[in-house]
Amino acid sequence: MKILVINCGSSSLKYQLIDMDNESVLAKGLCERIGIDGSLLTHKPTGKDKYEVTVPMPDHKVAVKLVLDALVDKEHGVISDTSEISAVGHRVLHGGQYYSDSIVVNDDVKKVIRDCFDLGPLHNPANLIGIEACEASMPGTPQVAVFDTAFGQSMPEKAYMYAIPHEYYDKYSIRRYGFHGTSHSFVSGETIKFAGLDPEKAKVIVCHLGNGASVSASIGGKCVDTSMGLTPLEGLIMGTRSGDLDPAILQFICNKEGKDINEMLNILNKKSGILGMSGVSSDFRDVQKAEQQGDHKSIVAIEAYEYRVAKYIGSYAAAMNGVDAITFTAGVGENDGIIRAAICEYLGYLDVEIDAEKNKTRGEKIMISTPNSKVKVSVIPTNEELAIARETLALV
């Protein structure tokens, strides 16, 4: 069975075609600048040369058609006909409180995705466009929605409720949802297997550290808390997002600078975080280079980033009354041993001990804790596309 995985952004479409018999990637690619001049399709079939073409893509429907044409192309394709695609799995950002699991798309599912536009204004409209484009190009092929917020639906009320008047929850479903859920679900499950833990009782903390970053706590693979909230702005310091702060700061700056709330949220989402603190870049490599050259703001930015992650780990160890394993994943988590080591230096009270040599490994599944460490610490590359494909396969 072959599953096509689609992840639509407002002007992009990422895809992978996966053979679920052995979970191998047959082809993957990216459509960029959809609806913008200079639209580009990059298609990489496994075992063949990369294929790039600049072609107009006025909308996602045209992009989906180009992807399907590339997959069946005589020279660059990997299948003879689109009928070989058994189902399409779509990454959908926000399912609100309606869905705690993936689901085969029907009219009701599309209505929920549409109803959640306010909660995911950048992603949900594009996700729905991608679903409808695939329906038009592949009539009769099952479409499955895999919600990024589904993992957080198992959180208890004490973890997801905000301390604001309850009427706002009743009226607008304002609560903590959490994001990166597909990644957290996949990596927490892989951690349990890799570390040989009890699948029913394992207490796992996953640190998804990239330009966007979040931490989750799970027991037996079920989320009990996660750092992002109503939106991905809450929680850790990120590449351009502020993470946690005193909300009164918004009013203070608005009054001082003559800005409105929309301008302030744009600043907190796109001009803050590592970029805002360092004044150098949102790319950790650039900021670390400046840090090594003695730039004070860059030093503080990296230290604050590490400190915030360590605080969340500590709070989740308390919330679960213990922790069996801590796993690092995503771009920074998988590749930056210096940041991993700095975070783990805060965890002496948990008797965490890191093998310095193993911690130098980049982008590979590896146990980086020593045999003496009371908490197992590992690096496990995330694979959201495979997780979406597995969810899709289970439903169809």
User: What is the DSSP code string of 211-273?
Assistant: SSEEEEEEETTEEEEES--SSTTSSS--SS---S--THHHHHHHHHHT--HHHHHHHHHHS-H
C-alpha closest to that of 146 among 117, 182, 187, 122: 182
Per the structure block, which two tokens stand in for 49? Answer: 């040369």
pLDDT digits (tens, 9 = 90+) for 23-32: 999 999 999 9
The residue ranking higher by pLDDT, 277 or 117, is 277
pLDDT digits (tens, 9 = 90+) for 109-132: 999 999 998 888 778 998 999 999
C-alpha closest to that of 17 among 90, 71, 69: 71
Enzyme catalytic residues: 148
Q: What pLDDT does residue 98 have?
A: 87
State mean pLDDT over 371-387. Answer: 96
Q: How much is the mean pLDDT over the chain?
A: 95
Q: What percent of the chain has pLDDT over 90?
A: 89
Give the position of tokens 């394992």: 202
User: What is the DSSP code string of 266-325?
Assistant: HHHHHS-HHHHHHSS-SSHHHHHHHHHTT-HHHHHHHHHHHHHHHHHHHHHHHHTTS-SE
Total length of the chain: 396
**Distance (Å) of CA 90 to CA 38, 94, 303, 367:** 25, 12, 37, 32
Q: What pLDDT does residue 127 have?
A: 92
Q: Is the pLDDT of residue 240 over 80?
A: yes
Please name the amino acid found at residue 395. Answer: L
Q: What pLDDT does residue 110 have?
A: 97
Q: What pLDDT does residue 171 have?
A: 93
pLDDT digits (tens, 9 = 90+) for 39-72: 999 999 999 999 999 999 998 889 999 999 999 9
**CA of residue 359 relative to chain centroid, distance:** 23
pTM (two decimals) = 0.90
Give backbone dihedrals phi and psi of 222, rounded to 5 degrees, phi first: -105, 125
